[in-house]
Structure 1
C-alpha cells in the first residue's frame, strides 16, 4: 500500500521538504500480518470480564432457586430416629420408668400449598430476570470493548499525527535556517519553527502516555495486547443513519430495552410476592404417612410385656393460620408498597430508555454530519497548505503561514478519524439502546476495520453466537 503524504514544500532555493503524514491509511499500511479485530476482542473479553462471569453465575443461582421452590411442592421422604426415657406417675399403681427407641420413614405429600405456589412463580420470574441481566451484560461488554478498541486507535492516530507533524516542522525549520543563512529570511522564521518543535515534543509525550494508558485498559478488559489492532482505513465507507425515524427508536426502547424488561420483571416479581403474602392467610393441605418400628416401652405400655411394635399410619393434615402476631398483615402491606415502587421504577426505566435512544440517535446523526464536514475540511486544508507552499516559494508567504496550514491539516485529519470512530460506536450503542445489538452488528463493524486500500478484506470467521438476537 502506498503511503500518502502532503505536497513537499520547497525553500526559496528549491530544497524539497517532505511531509510524512501517518493517519488512518498509514496505520493500515503499517498493520502487522495478524492484528486483533473487534470480534476477536469481544470474544476474548467474554472469557476475561469478571462482571459477565458474575452474571452467568447469577443465572445458575436463580435456576437452582427455582428448582428448590418447585421441590417444596413435591413429595418428600425423611428418615426418623428417636430415643427417649421417662417416668410415669399415676394414682392406680406405683411409679414406673420406661425407655424406647424408634426408627422409621415419614412421607409427606403436599396437596394444597398456595403460598409455596406463589413463591414458585416468583422464583421463575427471578430466573427470567437473571437471563435478562446476562443479556444486558453482554451488550454492555460489547459496547465497552468497542469503546476501548476505538480509544486505542484514536490514541495511535494522535501519536502518528504528533510524529508526522514533528517531522514536517523539522523540515520547515531546516528550510528557515538555510534561508536565514543565505540572507533570504529573518531569524524570526527559524525561531517560530523552533517554538513549534518544542510544543510538538510536549504534545508527542502526552500522546504517547495516553496511548500506553488506553492500551493497558484494553488489555485489562480483553486480556489481549493492545498494540496490534485492525485500524479503520480512510477508504472504509460509513453506513448512513438508519431509515427508521427517531420516534421509532424511542418507541422500541420503551418496550425492548433490557432495563425496561428488567423493570417489568421486577414489577411482576413484586406482584408474585404480594400473592404469596396474601396466600399466607389460606389453609394448607397435605398427607403425612409414617412407617416406624419401636423398641422398648412407652407411657402406655409400662409394666406390659410389649417390647417391640410396628406402626404404619397415614393422615390428612390441614393447617389453618389463625394468629401470627400481625406479621402476616404487615408482610402483605410491605409487598403492596414494593409493588407500587416497582411500578414507578418501570415508568422511570421507560423514560430513561427513550431518552438514551434519542440521545444516541442524535449523536449518530451529528457524528455522520461532522464526518462529512471534516472530509470537506481536510480537502480545503490540503488546498490551503498547497497554496501556502506555493506562496512561500514565491516569497509572498512567510514560514509561519506554512506552519499554520500544516497544523490545520493535521488537526482536521485527526478530528476526522476520531469522528469516524464515533460513528461506528454510536451505531452499536443505538442498537444496544433498544436491546437489539447482535453478533452480526459486531461482525459488520469488524469487516469495516478489515478493509484495505485495494478493496474489502475477507469477512471474519463466524464464531459462536453470544449476543441476544434482536
Structure 2
C-alpha cells in the first residue's frame, strides 16, 4: 500500500490527474480486446476451422460440366466396309465419305465422380485435420506470447514509475540537505565543503530524476501501445506481489514444487513442443501422399455428353449428332512416373526427418529453460529475504544518520549516502520482485499453464502462488481465445 501511494504521489507531482488503479490482469484484458496480435490469433483459428471443414468434405462427390460452341468442320472416310438391307444379300467393299465445311457445332458434357478408394485422399484428410489442430496451437502460442509481452511491458512501467518516485524522494531529501548545509555554513557550523558536496549530489540526483522521467514516459507509451490505454492519463499500476519475507518465503519455495513436475508438465503441455510435434505429424502425412501406391484411385463415375454439327459439305448439306453416357467404376493405377514421384517422396521424407530433429532440439531447449527458470525462482526466494533485510538495515542506518546529523556527529555527505543507500535498497527489492514475477509467468508458460489467474496472482499478494503441475495423462486443449466474462 505504501508503494501504491508513492506511485500516486509521483504521478500527481508530474501534473497528471487522478488515475484508475490497474493490475496486470486489467492490462491483459485491455490488450486482448484491441491488440493486433489477438486479431492474428483469431484469423489463425478461423483458418484452422476452414481446414477442418475441408477435411469433412474430402470424400464428397464432385460434378463438373463443360460446353463449347463455334464453327466446326468434319470429314470421315471409310473403305472396305460392308452393309446389308432387309431382304438383300450383304454387299462388301463399300466406301463411305462425309464432309462438312465450317458449320455451326456444339459440344457438352457432364462428369460426376465419387471417390471410393484413394490412399492419397485419406492422407490429405488426416493432414487437413492435423493442420486444423496446428492452427489452434499456433493461435494459442500467439496469445501466450502477447500475455508475456504485456507482462514484460507492465512490469517495466511499474519499475519506471517506482524508480522515478524514488528519485523524486531522493531529490527532495538532497535539496533539504543542501539547504540545511547552506544554513549551517551561514551560521558557521559547517565548512563550505559540505555545501559543495550537497550541491554536487543535488545536481546529480536532478539529472537522474530527469532521466528517470524520460524512461517512465517511454515505458508508459510501450504499455499503452499494447493495452490501448491513454499514455497521457496512465493508470496507477500495482507493484508485483512479494516473493520473500520469513515464513512467506519458505511457503513460496515449497509451493514451487520439484523441478521434475515442471519438466513433466512442459513435456506434455508446452505449446512450442506440441506445435512442433504437430508439424512432424503433418510432414508424415505429406510424405504419405507422395508414395506411388497412394496414387491408386477407385472412383464411382457417371458421365454424359453430346455433340452436334451441321453444315454444307462436298456432297451437299449434312448434319452429325452423337450422344454418350456411362455409369460405372473407374480404376487408376500408376505404373511408371518417370522417377519424379520417387524423388519427390525422398524429398518429403527428408523434410519429415528435419521436422523430427527440430522437435528433438525444441525439447532440449525447453528442458533447459525450465531448469534455468526454476533455479532462478528457487534462488530468488533467498535473494528476496536478503534484499528485505538489506532494506531494513539501510532504513535503520538512515534513521541513525539523520539523528547523528542533528546532533553534529554525522556530516551532510554521510546523510546523503545513507539516503541514497536506503532508496537503492528499496529500488533493488522492487526490481527483484518484478523479475521474480516475470520468471513465474515464464515458468507457467513453459508448462502450458499461463492464464488469467496467473496474471492476477502476479500483482495480487492475496492470491496463492501457482503450485507445481501434476503430471497430465494427455495434452490439454489449446488456450481459449474468447474473452472471458
Scaled to the shorter chain, the TM-score interval is 0.7 to 0.9
CA distance in 2, matches of 1:87, 1:329: 43
Q: Does 1:256 find its partner at 2:269?
A: yes
CA distance in 2, matches of 1:281, 1:236: 59
1:86 to 51, 73, 87: 73
Deviation at 1:81, TM superposition (A): 1.4
2:34 to 38, 48, 55: 48
Q: Secondary structure at the match of 2:110?
A: strand
Gaps of 5+ in 2: 12-17, 80-94, 464-478
CA distance in 2, matches of 1:405, 1:127: 62
CA distance in 1, matches of 2:316, 2:108: 22
1:229 to 224, 229, 236: 236
Deviation at 1:59, TM superposition (A): 2.5
Deviation at 1:466, TM superposition (A): 4.2
> What is residue 399 of structure 1 aligned with on the other side?
412
Residues 1:264 and 1:416: Cα distance change in structure 2 (over 3 Å): same
Q: Does 1:133 find its partner at 2:158?
A: no
Q: Does 1:421 find its partner at 2:434?
A: yes
CA distance in 1, matches of 2:115, 2:240: 68
Deviation at 1:376, TM superposition (A): 0.9
Asked if the contact 1:118–1:276 (Cα under 8 Å) also holds between the matched residues in 2, the reply is: yes
1:63 to 49, 54, 64: 49
Residues 1:159 and 1:33: Cα distance change in structure 2 (over 3 Å): closer
Trace 1:211-290 onto structure 2 (pairs within 5 A). 211-226=216-231, 227-232=234-239, 240-241=252-253, 242-278=255-291, 281-290=294-303
Asked if the contact 2:107–2:306 (Cα under 8 Å) also holds between the matched residues in 1, the reply is: yes
Question: What do residues 248-275 of structure 1 show as CA deviations (whole Å, max 9, x unaligned)?
Answer: 2123222321111111111111111121
> What is residue 390 of structure 1 aligned with on the other side?
403
Residues 1:281 and 1:118: Cα distance change in structure 2 (over 3 Å): closer
Q: Which has the larger radius of gyration?
A: 2
Asked if the contact 1:292–1:312 (Cα under 8 Å) also holds between the matched residues in 2, the reply is: yes
Deviation at 1:66, TM superposition (A): 4.0
Give the superposed CA RMSD: 3.0
CA distance in 1, matches of 2:265, 2:188: 71
User: TM-score, normalised on structure 1?
Assistant: 0.84
Trace 1:141-152 onto structure 2 (pairs within 5 A). 141-152=146-157
Asked if the contact 2:134–2:279 (Cα under 8 Å) also holds between the matched residues in 1, the reply is: yes
User: TM-score, normalised on structure 2?
Assistant: 0.81
Q: Secondary structure at the match of 1:271?
A: helix
Q: Secondary structure at the match of 1:124?
A: helix
1:106 to 100, 111, 123: 111
CA distance in 2, matches of 1:309, 1:171: 109
Residues 1:234 and 1:414: Cα distance change in structure 2 (over 3 Å): farther
Deviation at 1:108, TM superposition (A): 1.0
CA distance in 1, matches of 2:364, 2:40: 28
Q: Does 1:38 find its partner at 2:43?
A: no
Question: What do residues 126-164 of structure 1 show as CA deviations (whole Å, max 9, x unaligned)?
Answer: 111111111111111111111111110110111111111
2:349 to 336, 348, 352: 336
CA distance in 2, matches of 1:83, 1:273: 41
1:182 to 184, 187, 198: 187
Trace 1:301-450 onto structure 2 (pairs within 5 A). 310-448=323-461
Question: What do residues 342-379 of structure 1 show as CA deviations (whole Å, max 9, x unaligned)?
Answer: 11111111111111111211222233322221111111
> In proportion to residue count, which structure has more strand?
2
> What is residue 12 of structure 1 aligned with on the other side?
none
Deviation at 1:104, TM superposition (A): 4.6
Gaps of 5+ in 1: 5-22, 451-463
Deviation at 1:180, TM superposition (A): 0.8
> What is residue 201 of structure 1 aligned with on the other side?
206
